[in-house]
């Protein structure tokens, strides 16, 4: 059974969130566990640094990621609730529930040698 989660984030700014522990680190930014102060909803805040995006020339990829993920609705894909930005960073507000990572799943499958 699939459940729809509806949260009201209102006008999103960083002050609306309590940041928790880091969940991951990448080339262009970091991901943090966060909680919306008003609704107490647990989520992941993906933070990109604008300078690094501009330096690598991948701003269009971030725009495309936002466009695609804002329309996706699948139980195995983290939902994008919204985004906002300030002078130096772009923030993606994503589902905070843990999903299965495909690369880690494939590592758990035993590999059997092929017999000729």
CATH of residue 20: 3.30.200.20
H helices of 1-116, where?
A: 50-56, 59-69, 102-107
**pLDDT recorded at residue 113:** 59
pTM: 0.72
Residue 57 confidence (pLDDT): 94
Span 47-71, average pLDDT: 92
By residue range, what is the domain housing residue 94? 14-107
Contact present, 28 and 56 (Cβ < 8 Å): yes
- Mean pLDDT, to the nearest integer, of 83-106? 74
Strand partners, 47: 30, 91
pLDDT band at 114, cuts 50/70/90? Answer: low
Residue 46 is assigned to a ligand binding site: yes
Cα–Cα nearest to 13, from 96, 89, 95: 89
Overall number of domains in the chain:
1
The verdict on residue 100 lying in a domain is yes
Decide if 41 is inside a domain.
yes
Q: In what order do the strands lie in the sheet with 29-36?
A: 17-25, 29-36, 42-49, 89-95, 80-85
Is 67 part of any domain? yes
> Residue 27 annotated as binding?
yes
């Amino acid at each position: 059974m699939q459940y729809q989660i509806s949260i009201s984030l209102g006008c999103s700014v960083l002050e609306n969130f309590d940041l928790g522990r880091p969940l991951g680190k990448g080339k262009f930014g970091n991901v943090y566990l966060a909680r919306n102060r008003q609704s107490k909803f647990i989520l992941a805040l993906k933070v990109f640094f604008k300078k690094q995006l501009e330096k690598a020339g991948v701003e269009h990829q971030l725009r495309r990621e936002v466009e695609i993920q804002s329309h996706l609705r699948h139980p195995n894909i983290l939902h994008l609730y919204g985004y906002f930005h300030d002078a130096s960073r772009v923030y993606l507000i994503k589902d905070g529930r843990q999903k299965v990572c495909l690369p880690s799943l494939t590592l758990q499958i035993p590999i059997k040698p092929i017999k000729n």
